[in-house]
């Protein structure tokens, strides 16, 4: 084997166009750190200021809330201006939190939800956001839905995502009558029969719904692109714990190290988005909260 052949073989094996030693130096990190704007929601900063705080705190990625973006537009801002704010700050909007009632049995309500999602997805596409959360909004109480029908409804909004480039991620809500457990969202995703189906889970919701952190091991890694990270205290118990009880990653009792090992994907980084609704944090300086959240996320992911 001559030297040219040998070099070609090494490059082919590395798949990167670099020698092995160079490739090792540029190893992709397993996680991307993001800030979900629920964390600053109580500060009532508005669209621009929330993004500025996130960027100043050191976040390169964020999850916005649809209604915050739309409030900005109602107040005279434009989608083009929103995109410029994002670009100027050098951050990426990874996902948007929306609440369309796409899942419900009421056909009229579902039709309105589809129209709502068309508008929202179009706005998100224009600002470069590739995902939108699809929680069981409208079906958190009342009757248990037929999961086969839910899978059909999820496919409908996935097909809408095909047209807009914004993929709806099926979100687990632990307190909900429907889609509160990993088995339910996994069934719906698989039975949708759509290649873009993805799951959006959360430390708190895994605990609240009773699935627990170990359930993540049963979810195929391609189904998870983004994950809401937080923690929960030992008390109150699971049955009575609420959204507002979530705390910084590492400040509670969740087995985060084992969870993160289950989430880690050798094929691509997983986006960890810090999401809490903590009134004590809302009473503190917003930048301090954002910086603390990022520091604690990095600490719990050390060595994973």
Closest CA to 223 of 178, 257, 192, 180: 192
Q: Where are the domains of the chain?
A: 31-301
Give CA–CA dist 70/64, Å, rounded.
11
pTM score over 0.85: yes
Nearest to 256 by CA among 274, 243, 277: 274
CATH placement of domain 31-301: 3.20.20.150
Q: What is the pLDDT of residue 16?
A: 43
Q: Report the pLDDT value the prediction gives residue 26, as an integer from 0 to 100.
A: 54
Q: Tell me which residue of 123, 201, 121 sits closest to 168, measured CA to CA.
A: 121
Peptide bond preceding 142 in cis form (omega within 30 of 0): no
Q: Are 105 and 145 in contact (CB under 8 A)?
A: yes
Tell me the pLDDT of the chain (304 aa) as tens digits. 343 443 343 334 334 444 544 544 456 799 999 999 999 999 999 999 999 999 999 999 999 999 999 999 999 999 999 999 999 999 999 999 999 999 999 999 999 999 999 999 999 999 999 999 999 999 999 999 999 999 999 999 999 999 999 999 999 999 999 999 999 999 999 999 999 999 999 999 999 999 999 999 999 999 999 999 999 999 999 999 999 999 999 999 999 999 999 999 999 999 999 999 999 999 999 999 999 999 999 999 999 9
Closest CA to 248 of 233, 258, 259, 263: 233
- pLDDT value for 28: 76
């Amino acid at each position: 084997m001559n030297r040219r052949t040998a070099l070609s073989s090494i490059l082919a094996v590395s798949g990167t166009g670099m020698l092995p030693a160079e490739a090792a130096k540029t190893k992709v990190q397993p996680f991307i750190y993001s800030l979900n704007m629920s964390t600053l929601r109580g500060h009532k900063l508005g669209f621009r200021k929330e993004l500025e705080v996130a960027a100043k705190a050191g976040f390169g990625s964020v999850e916005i809330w649809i209604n915050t973006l739309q409030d900005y537009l109602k107040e005279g801002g434009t989608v083009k201006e929103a995109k410029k704010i994002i670009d100027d700050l050098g951050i990426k909007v990874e996902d948007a939190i929306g609440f369309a009632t796409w899942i419900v049995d009421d056909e009229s309500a579902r039709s309105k939800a589809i129209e709502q999602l068309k508008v929202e997805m179009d706005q998100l596409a224009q600002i470069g956001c590739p995902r939108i959360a699809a929680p069981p909004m409208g079906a958190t109480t009342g009757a248990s839905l037929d999961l086969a029908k839910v899978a059909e409804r999820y496919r409908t909004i996935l097909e809408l995502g095909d047209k807009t480039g914004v993929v709806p991620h099926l979100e687990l809500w632990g307190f909900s009558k429907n889609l509160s457990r990993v088995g339910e969202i996994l069934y719906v995703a698989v039975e949708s029969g759509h290649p873009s189906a993805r799951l959006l889970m959360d430390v708190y919701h895994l605990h609240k719904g009773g699935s627990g952190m170990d359930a993540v091991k049963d979810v195929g890694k391609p189904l998870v692109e983004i994950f809401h990270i937080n923690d929960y205290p030992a008390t109150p118990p699971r049955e009575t714990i609420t959204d507002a009880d979530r705390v910084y990653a590492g400040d509670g009792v969740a087995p985060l190290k084992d969870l993160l090992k289950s989430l880690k994907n050798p094929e691509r980084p997983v986006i960890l988005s810090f999401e809490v609704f903590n009134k004590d944090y809302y009473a503190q300086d917003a930048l301090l909260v954002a910086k603390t959240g990022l520091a604690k996320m990095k600490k719990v992911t050390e060595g994973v």
